[in-house]
Amino acid sequence: MSDSKNSNGGAPIADAEQLRREAMTLIERSNKFVESGDTDISRTLLGAAAVLIDASGGEDACEQAFNLWCARAMVAEKCGETSQLITIAKRAHEVALKVYGLDHPVIGLALMNVGDAYVQAGDTAKAQAALVQAITLFELCAPAGGYTRQYMNAMVGTARELLSKAQG
C-alpha cells in the first residue's frame, strides 16, 4: 500500500493503487458511454479518471494512463475530431513507451492507433511510417502482458489492412 502525492507536491491524498483502480473503472464506464454515443458524459468521466491518475503519482507511472489516452482517442474518433485524434494517439504512444518500454506488444497497438489516426487524416506518409513500425514490432517482439503470438499475428493483419487503406 503506497500513499501518493498530487502533481503539486501536496500531502498524500489516498492509496495510489486504489486511485488507479477507480480511474480504470471510470475509463471502462466511459468507453461504454462512447459506444452508446454519449460522449459528453465520457469526457466528464475521463476528466475524473485523469484527476485520479494524476493523484496516484502521474500518468507516466501506470498502465491506466495508456488506457486513459486510448479512451480519449475513442471519444475523439466518435466525435470526428481527426486532428485531435492524432495528438491523442501520439500522446498514448509516448505514455506507452514510458510505461512498457520499447518492445512490448502495447507499443505495437499504440503505433497502430497513430497510423490509423493519420489514415483518417489522409496523411499517407506518416500513416505508412507508423504502421510499418507497428507491423515490425508485432512480428519481432515476444508475447507479453497477456498478448499472445496469435493475437499479435492478427494485429499484423489489421495493420496491413490499414496500410493498404493508407496507400489507396
Partner 1 sequence: MCGSHEHGHDCAHEDQGACCGGACGGEHDREAEAFTAQAMQLLEVADGFLHRDQTTDDAEPILAAAKVLLTRAGTLDSEAGVWLLSTTGIIANGKGQLHAAERAFRQAYDVSIKAHGENHPGTAIILGNLGNVLALIGKTDEAIETLQNTVGLLEAATPQSGYTAETIESVREEKLAVLQQLGA
Select from 16, 34, 45, 127 the one that contacts partner 1 (CB under 8 A): 45
Cα 124 to Cα 28: distance, rounded to the nearest angstrom: 32
C-alpha distances (whole Å) from 24 to each of 10, 20, 97, 119, 139 are 23, 6, 19, 29, 29
136 binds partner 1 (CB under 8 A): no
Cα 56 to Cα 79: distance, rounded to the nearest angstrom: 29
Beta bridge partners of residue 147, listed in sequence order = 144
88 binds partner 1 (CB under 8 A): no
Closest CA to 39 of 2, 85, 72: 72
31 binds partner 1 (CB under 8 A): no
Indicate the residue among 33 and 69 with the shorter CB distance to partner 1: 33
1 binds partner 1 (CB under 8 A): no
Q: How far is the CB of 118 from partner 1 (least distance, A)?
A: 32
Query: Where do contacts with partner 1 occur on this chain (CB under 8 A)?
Result: 6, 8, 10, 13-14, 18-19, 22-23, 25-26, 29, 41, 44-45, 47-49, 51-52, 55
